[in-house]
Amino acid sequence: MAEPKESVKLPAPELTGKQSVELLLQQRRSVRSYQKLSLNLAEVGQLLWSAQGLSDIRGLRTAPSAGALYPLKLFVVVGDVHDLSPGIYQYNPEEHSLLKTANGDLRKSLQSAALNQSCIGDAAIIFVFTAVYQRTTWKYGERGVRYVHMEVGHAGQNLFLQAQALRLGTVVVGAFDDDKVSEVMNLDSDIRPLSLMPVGRK
């Protein structure tokens, strides 16, 4: 019998910030160098919620989705977070929780799959945006592929602005070997990686 996967309940997200959206937009920059400092669980939860969290009792999320079909699956590769052991976790928006899918610090493996970009290996955590295209294309046909790509952009910008609000650094990484990332993440064949966002303290 397979061992039950570790589930981690995340702290409730904060809904009031100290900075305006306008200021965050003005301050947002791509950051590829991070201090060797840990993140905390509340920060990780806030970032996850900003990208794909629930924002309505009807199940709507913080990022728009064509037909509210939500094809994105958000994973986080954890290396250095207080009270969260290294490994790969999948975000569950409905429960605002994490489900551990792999053990161990896999940041360097993911860095290798991402053309050896140092920002991936140096970050405290890496957010891995993936999608099941069929969740959208069954309704919209091939046009749905475009909608999925638009959606990952919306979610990524949400995470970018939230990182800035938390005084954290991040960058959107699109240069990687899809098959190698899928292998590191042990993704099912219908789940495709779309972008990576390493996060660390500036």
* Amino acid letter, residue 107: R
How is residue 74 written in tokens?
């958000």
This prediction's pTM: 0.96
User: In three state form, how does the secondary structure of 9-21 look?
Assistant: ECCCCCCCCCCCH
For residue 178, which of 94, 115, 88 has the smallest C-alpha distance? 115
Domains contained in the chain, CATH given: 31-201 (3.40.109.10)
CB atoms < 10 A from the CB of 190, how many? 10
Please give the chain's pLDDT, 202 residues, in tens.
Answer: 455 578 999 999 999 988 999 999 999 999 999 999 999 999 999 999 999 999 999 999 999 999 999 999 999 999 999 999 999 999 999 999 999 999 999 999 999 999 999 999 999 999 999 999 999 999 999 999 999 999 999 999 999 999 999 999 999 999 999 999 999 999 999 999 999 999 999 9
Q: In this structure, what token pair is assigned to residue 80?
A: 């250095």
How many residues can be counted in the chain? 202
